[in-house]
Amino acid sequence: MPQHRFLCRDALERPGASRLRRPGPDDGAYLLFTSGSTGAPKGVPLRHANVMAYLRATTARYQPTPDDRFTQLFDLTFDLSVHDMFLCWGAGAALYCPSDAARMAPQEFVRRHDLTFWFSVPSTATYMQRLRILRPGLFPSLRWSLFCGEALPRRIAEAWAAAAPNSTVENLYGPTEATIAITAYRLPADPDAAAQLPDIVPIGRPFPGQAAIVIDAEGTPAPMGEAGKLCLGGSQVAEGYWRRPDLTAERFLPPQGTDPGMGWYRTGDRVRETAEHGLVFLGRMDRQVKINGHRVELQEVEAALGRAAASDCVAALAWPLDAGGLARGIVAFVGRDDMPAEAILEACRRMLPPYMVPSQIRPLSDWPVNDHGKADYKRLRQLLE
């Protein structure tokens, strides 16, 4: 691979190895792949300038010091791991990596090391709450409790605030295309005020220097309080997808009337802007779902299922949903009953990352279609209820 240069320990110890070129703001920092609705993952290249904009904003906001101790709960394929590592190391703080066993319910790990910065998907807190681990006063050492990556249910945020009473709880929001997180909402310290929030904690306002606009179906700015599509702009926004000019033109199209010099990204998230809370998350415009914080385009699962079952009659649905309507897994319907479900699942496992593999296959001899001859998702969903 001539375009890659591997630097192993021996090479670094050799004289002159330290003369690596310092990257400039336009150099690539990382390329992350995220689920694609056309059936193949899409790459998002982020530049050093994007990452530095994020790190400057969060360093100013959270003021980490060399005395801080951070959690490192995110897999390196998730951009939230960039926050863990570089916000921490930039301040000279210490990063604590849990074992695989401690990753899902890391309460002992946080307590043993007196960690001060928590950062996870809300699912981790939901899981701890379900196991009745999240007791009031559990985490006295935490001073920041940050959540990101999927909707944060208010009841989970409230339980966490009681469990980490010396910390400030924030809900961060952002797609990979806008570098880690680009808006944040701070939970009120007063429990009575927190209890008044919507069931899903708002996503707040963009970081200083970044922009968010809500547009209506015509592409013009939606009035305050009206639901619309969220577009993000500013120095955190990527320039486009890797080698996908078609998709880049569609999703990185600046909204009407905005500064053409600024990068914009159309998120596909439905939101409403309110004077009190800033942006309130209402769900997706498309079939993208979050499974334990992992971004999944159900069409990508269906493309793999179609190949696995050698059939066009396949459908993937987010199921089950928890009490707040958030997805916990994927169920697949296949319009043939002459192939063992395990064989289909095995083929899916070879094509998809573990979190995208359906938890069960439901074979159907009678495939429900709508007036356009396409899979009737409404009827399929009824079969689950």
Structure tokens at 92: 């000279």
Minimum CB–partner distance for residue 377 and ligand AMP (Å): 19
Q: What letter does residue 85 receive in the DSSP assignment?
A: I
Residue 36: CA atoms inside 13 Å, Cβ hemisphere, count? Answer: 17
Closest to ligand AMP by CB, 84 or 93? 84
Residue from the set 173, 207, 319, 367 that interacts with ligand AMP by CB under 6 A: 173
Considering only residues 64, 98, 106, 149, which one is a binding residue for ligand AMP as defined by CB under 6 A? Answer: 149
The correct pick among 176, 210, 235, 236 for binding ligand AMP (CB under 6 A) is 176
Cβ–Cβ under 8 Å, residues 153 and 324: yes
Which residue's CB is nearer to ligand AMP, number 41 or number 254? 41
Which of 246, 332, 327 lies closest to 289 in space, CA to CA? 327
Q: Which is nearer to ligand AMP, 106 or 175 (CB)?
A: 175
Asked if 96 contacts 116 with a C-beta cutoff of 8 angstroms, the reply is no
The identity of residue 278, as a single letter, is G
**Considering CB under 6 A, how many residues would be counted as binding ligand AMP?**
17
Query: Residue type for 103, please?
Result: R
Among 84, 170, 269, 302, which residue interacts with ligand AMP (rule: CB under 6 A)? 269
**Does residue 281 interact with ligand AMP by CB under 6 A?**
yes
Span interacting with ligand AMP, options 1-9, 173-181, 187-195, 352-360, rule CB under 6 A: 173-181
Query: Which of residues 98, 175, 221, 358 is near ligand AMP by CB under 6 A?
Result: 175
Among 115, 146, 148, 279, binds ligand AMP (CB under 6 A): 148
Distance CA 125, CA 159 (A): 9
Establish if 300 lies at the interface with ligand AMP (CB under 6 A).
no
Region 202-241 residues binding ligand AMP, contact defined as CB under 6 A: 203
Q: How far is the CB of 295 from ligand AMP (least distance, A)?
A: 4
| Residue number with CB closer to ligand AMP (84 or 150) | 150
Distance, in Å, from the CA atom of 232 to the CA atom of 239, rounded to the nearest integer, reads: 12
124 or 171: whose CB is closer to ligand AMP?
171
Instruction: Give the residue, chosen from 58, 71, 171, 292, that forms a contact with ligand AMP under the rule CB under 6 A.
Output: 171
Could you give the CA distance from residue 94 to residue 67 in angstroms, rounded to a whole number? 8
Cα(301)–Cα(315) distance, integer angstroms: 8
Strands (E) located in 41-127: 42-47, 69-71, 94-96, 117-120
Work out whether 120 is an interface residue with ligand AMP (CB under 6 A): no
Q: Which is nearer to ligand AMP, 109 or 185 (CB)?
A: 185
> Which region among 69-77, 108-116, 172-180, 377-385 touches ligand AMP (by CB under 6 A)?
172-180
**Closer Cβ to ligand AMP, 44 or 344, answer by number:** 44
Using DSSP bridges, classify how beta strands 330-334 and 94-96 pair: parallel, antiparallel or unpaired: unpaired
Q: Give min distance, CB of 356 to ligand AMP, in A.
A: 13
We find the least distance from the C-beta atom of residue 251 to ligand AMP, in angstroms, to be 11
With 0-12 / 13-18 / 19 or more C-beta atoms within 10 angstroms meaning exposed / middle / buried, residue 348 is buried
Residue 313's φ and ψ, nearest 5 degrees, are: -90, 80
Burial class (CB in 10 A: 0-12, 13-18, 19+), 249: exposed
Asked if residue 98 has a cis previous peptide bond (ω within 30° of 0), the answer is: no
Strand, coil or helix: 205: strand
DSSP 231-258: EEESTTS-S--TT-HHHHHHHSPPPTTS
Among 126, 143, 290, 331, binds ligand AMP (CB under 6 A): 290
In the numeric block, the tokens 């210490």 are attached to 94
Residues in touch with ligand AMP (CB under 6 A): 34, 148-152, 171, 173, 175-176, 203, 267, 269, 281, 284, 290, 295
